[in-house]
Chain A
Amino acid sequence: DTAVSQTPKYLVTQMGNDKSIKCEQNLGHDTMYWYKQDSKKFLKIMFSYNNKELIINETVPNRFSPKSPDKAHLNLHINSLELGDSAVYFCASSQGRLAGERDEQFFGPGTRLTVL
């Protein structure tokens, strides 16, 4: 059983289009995340949801909108795609943590987005 799954794995699209990436976790975790990994391998957090509530919203264009229909799903919708949006997007989930302790995050396989 896949713990964190993402679809699609590859996404090639034209500038200006709107696209969505879906993420599902079957681990029963309360918290889900979206990360963007650029060509230099920096993995930067974009959003975090806890029990369907947005708790982290980093400085990303408002063309990016996360949607959490339930705590097992966190989808990422991107409007008006730009060349600079090309990257690998990772979804992750985790369950609770103690103060200062970084709880283990489980990552999906990633979605490679290419904007032409």
Chain B
Amino acid sequence: LAKTTQPISMDSYEGQEVNITCSHNNIATNDYITWYQQFPSQGPRFIIQGYKTKVTNEVASLFIPADRKSSTLSLPRVSLSDTAVYYCLVGDDYKLSFGAGTTVTVRA
């Protein structure tokens, strides 16, 4: 079962790019990598999912190197409203749950 490791917290300023790296050394061949975002007092919200290389949507980009043992969520030009907890999940085993995530704090 692929376990993930991500930083506990990150600070940034408005307008900067935020990159959160998640390590998943034991990722299985058919596992996808998924990121969720959770604002205070709300349920998590799906951001992006990928299998390899790069995936981009209107919210974020996900970079996955060839060995797939890590992935990086990139949030371009963050604003105060991007302050949230970001969770990295691998595979489809819901028993792994969401972990503690990375708390991103964006300051003015």
Give A contacts to B, CB under 8 Å.
4, 33, 35, 40-45, 48, 56, 58, 90, 92, 97, 99-110
Cβ B94 vs Cβ A48 within 8 A: yes
Q: With a CB–CB cut-off of 8 A, which chain A residues contact B98?
A: 35, 42-44
Cβ A99 vs Cβ B43 within 8 A: no
How many residues in B have their beta carbons less than 8 Å from beta carbons of A? Answer: 28
Q: Which of B16-24, B26-34, B55-63, B75-83 contacts A (4 or more CB under 8 A)?
A: B26-34
Cβ B100 vs Cβ A100 within 8 A: no
Chain B facing A: main interface SS: loop
Chain A facing B: main interface SS: loop
Cβ B95 vs Cβ A58 within 8 A: yes
Q: With a CB–CB cut-off of 8 A, which chain B residues contact A103?
A: 92
Cα distance, A35 to B87, chains bound together (Å): 15
